[in-house]
Structure 1
């Protein structure tokens, strides 16, 4: 369904709001405030398209330069989105996922439970020599071979996380690597259980705030230095054997983590 554009009656309401604005506000700020107010009140719906710059500036009685400055202000706020070759749109509200830290779960199932559609891109599987961090997590020597699975996880087409999964290649390394290369990017839990015969029974996770470097900024479509939530997780198979090590960089505007901590007299939920 094509996005709906703002009708003339909405432009008239905007016009009234602009010219009744506070005298000390400059005109571009009045225009930005009026549009923001209309979005907050639901008069301009999320996902709707603004009329063309020529039409809207004429209807509002302001210059195109003033309208352009107001649009720039609202774009920086994230309220408007400019799609080149298409026009200016009211930004869709972001879907925020809430993930419990005290339990293992499938990211795909979590996305679906929140009304989103999971997908992946940039799926790559390669053989590496374990770094000190990976070797410690998997309880292997630093010179051991491992398979690295890289995925960019998306929710309804929006980049949500960059995930790295590491599996030791100790027994029959070439055969195991070939099998891992058949991974389609779906549930790593299901893959480990059905293809590698390594069901993951428990895990230990840590959460850290980090700044996006250039690579992760590019993959997640955010600015370099943008705050990310990094989850490092060691997954155990039977007998506490470390079967999988994951490091996942999450877009902090789309993901939050919760931890349930028993207390007295009841449980309290802490949000991170």
Structure 2
């Protein structure tokens, strides 16, 4: 039974790859497809379930099963400091934002330790969800000491690159970042913002950014879909 499921899964993938099944197309009924492949409806349904978990098919109960266009993997070297937006654009995907919030609050102990300020010192927190081809792929929490930015975020609506905002609006160019790679729990409410598909996993980059004078100016928590972003580093002896 299990072998048949994988065979049907591979055949469906081949049909999608060859264009026989087009992106956005609704599959024929489960009964018809099972007859075409010469298997039971349960076997065909199991194959569809595997493709749904991989984000290749979308099952709308009572409506039908549709072919999805999966997002390509966005490769990035950890040796190069790049914004989420630039990584999305480099992969030739349509970059966008689904939400941005800016607020002032007391600094958390973790961010205060990284930035060299006192806990509860006022900080500007910028939260944003970044999208690629309309799908949320990254959620970021950026913390900046209020004393460093003044009312810059209050004077104009923030959009676009935070790195560019630092350089053009604040006159402080970010040149370096120390990054720690973590695997957040799925119960992390920030992680849950990106769990679109059963197969989706999320990486967390805890990053402390420095300006040209090697002063820590930005602490960020970047949640990134690991089925979309892949990171690599070249190691030598």
TM-score normalised by length of structure 2 = 0.82
1:99 aligns with 2:96: no
Alignment match of 1:259 (pick from 226, 233, 237)? 233
For 2:31 and 2:47, the matched residues in 1 are separated by 14
Q: Residues 206 and 232 of structure 1 are in contact (CA less than 8 Å); yes or no, is this contact kept in structure 2?
A: yes
Q: Which has the larger radius of gyration?
A: 1
Match of 1:135 in 2: 112
Find out whether 1:178 has 2:178 as its counterpart.
no
- Structure 1 Cα separation of the partners of residues 98 and 217 of structure 2: 24
Q: For structure 1, which segment, 107-116 or 214-223, has the greater mean C-alpha deviation from structure 2 after superposition? A: 214-223
Structure 1 residue 52 and structure 2 residue 29: aligned? Answer: yes
Partner of 1:229: 203
CA gap of 1:172–1:120, structure 2 versus 1, over 3 A, is: closer
Query: What do you get for the CA RMSD once the two structures are aligned?
Result: 3.0
Q: Which residue of 2 aligns with 1:147?
A: 124
Q: Is the 8 A contact 1:160 1:254 kept in 2?
A: yes
- Tell me, yes or no, if structure 1 residue 195 matches structure 2 residue 172: no
Q: Deviations over 1:139-182 (max 9, x none)?
A: 11112100011111111112211111111111574x24414x62
Distance change >3 Å, CA 46–CA 128, structure 1 → 2: farther
Tell me what 1:220 maps to.
194
Q: Distance in 2 between matches of 1:235 and 1:188?
A: 11
Distance 1:110 1:172 in 2: 26
| Deviation of 1:52 (Å) | 3.3
Tell me the equivalent position of 1:118: 95
Greater CA deviation, 198-207 or 78-87?
Answer: 78-87
Q: Which has the higher contact order (CA 8 A, sep 6+)?
A: 2
Change in Cα spacing, 1:119 to 1:89, as seen in structure 2 (3 Å) is: same
CA distance in 2, matches of 1:178, 1:251: 30
Relative to 1, partners in 2 of residues 1:54 and 1:233: Cα closer, same or farther, differing over 3 Å?
same
CA distance in 2, matches of 1:66, 1:101: 42
Shift of 1:37: 2.0
String of CA shifts for 1:70-117, please: whole Å, max 9, x gaps: 533543454422145653123423311111211212322221221211
2:67 equivalent to 1:90: yes
SS of the equivalent of 1:211 reads coil
Q: Number of residue pairs matched?
A: 234
The CA distance in 2 between the partners of 1:224 and 1:144, in whole Å, is 40
In structure 1, what is the Cα distance between the partners aligned to 2:101 and 2:10? 42
Kindly tell me: are residues 131 and 190 of structure 1, through their superposed partners in 2, closer, same or farther at Cα, counting changes over 3 Å?
A: same
Distance 1:33 1:77, change over 3 A: farther
- Taking a change above 3 Å as real, the CA distance of residues 249 and 224 of structure 1, as seen in their structure-2 partners, is farther
